[in-house]
Amino acid sequence: MFDKVLIANRGEIALRIIRTCRDLGVRTVAVYSTPDADAQFVKAADEAVHIGPGAPTRSYLNIPNIIGAAVKTGAEAVHPGYGFLSEDPYFAEICADDGITFIGPPPDVMENVGDKATARKLMTAAGLPLLPGTTEPVDSVEAAEEIAREIGYPVIIKAAAGGGGRGITVVRRPQDLRDAYTTTRANAQAVFKNSAVYIERYLTRTRHIEIQVLCDDFDGAVHLGERDCSVQRRHQKLVEESPGPGIPPELRSRLGAAAVAGARAVGYRGAGTVEFLLEADPEAHNAFWFMEMNARIQVEHPVTELVTGVDLISEQLRVASGSPLTVKQEDVEVRGHAIECRINAEDPDRGFAPTPGLLENYRTPGGPWVRVDTDYVPGSRVSPYYDSMIGKLIVWGPDRATCLDRALRALSEFEVSGPGVHTTIPMHQEILGHPEFRRGGIATDFLERNFAL
């Protein structure tokens, strides 16, 4: 195991990683921007290094400053968390060049699965089902129009280097394709520095199901069940739960086997997530299709931890340090039900506009089987520089109904207030209490159909 690990991230995920490192006797180094100088993760780490001002490009995306901090403090490894540099193969290569272990998959694997078009090609070769579409980037609007005619409308145009719900455009009519193609490519270039896009058939009634996988260098590869991430706004997740409601055992086995086959096919190592679209119509015989693979720890990883008892960060650290996984497939047992609500400083009534500001009052819920991952305390300030998520409420119950009731109780105990600060807590209460959600098996259009957004 490593002696010292630098966490190239901030907020709740940095604090989460620090806690597991402490459990394992691993010393930690935090890096922080000027606005984060008084953050909890900075105080929790054994050492902390200032790496720049608030703008991410000058701090948490500043590779020379992060590598410099690792070298200066003698850190043997870097954990990138999620977001920022977590799926940047160039950063992983720079780490290797400086003799620092990157806690994640090899750079070439990260590059292959990070390019969504390449990933589709590799997963097709591994036998995973794909929606009709392209496995190569679409280089012209004329080609896009021809492909759309062949596979049929509606179609979805996706940035090959995209992620986090960005770089996606749904096109329902042929006359809208040209503008959508041009705009998506321009946005992809601006956001991801890569204008490549691909096209696939768009299904209007689907569920978003993802499978957590773990792989080591000793031919160990396991899946830890599924998470249902179908409650989304603008293709960004709000609520995640495990296991997926209404997923029969036979389908769960097929999804898990497909995810492991895909991970093995690309030579994956560490913790990753294989994401699928599942036909929402129960009469569709449980058809599913590969969507993408995320080469990092996910925001929603705690729901898997609560139902399996597996510390995913610990497994990441073990694999990166050259040890085998501690869990085999026959050891994995899903117990009860877990749900996660992302608590964002946003105003749903204004299109989920971020509402940064001072948290004059911040009280998190507690009690049995309630977990809150957060880096905020009363007096913290939600910065306009970073993601608006201020915490994750994760709740476990012996069954789904109990879990939902417990989550509603916990949401009622959450207190967040400050000048101009709004949160998604009231929306989560509406979602968890909605009859359609309570029945389970909702599609990704649930919010659009039931809420005036």
List residues with catalytic annotation. 296
Q: Would you report the helix, strand and coil content of the chain in percent, each value rounded to 5?
A: 35, 30, 35
The answer to whether 51 and 66 have CB atoms below 8 angstroms apart is yes
Structure tokens at 257: 């086997």
The answer to whether the CB of 33 falls within 8 A of the CB of 39 is no
- Residue type (1 letter), 224: L
Q: Is the sign of the CA dihedral 133, 139, 145, 150 positive or negative?
A: negative
The length of the chain in residues reads 453
Question: Beta-carbon neighbour count of residue 52 at 10 Å?
Answer: 18
Q: Is the four-CA dihedral 260, 266, 270, 275 of positive or negative sign? A: negative
Q: Which residues contact 420 (CB under 8 A, 6 or more apart)?
A: 355, 357
Which ranges in 282-434 belong to alpha helices (H)? 301-308, 312-320, 400-413, 425-433
Nearest to 13 by CA among 293, 301, 239: 301
Q: How far apart are CA 101 and CA 107, in angstroms?
A: 11
Burial of 44 (0-12, 13-18, 19+ CB in 10 A): middle
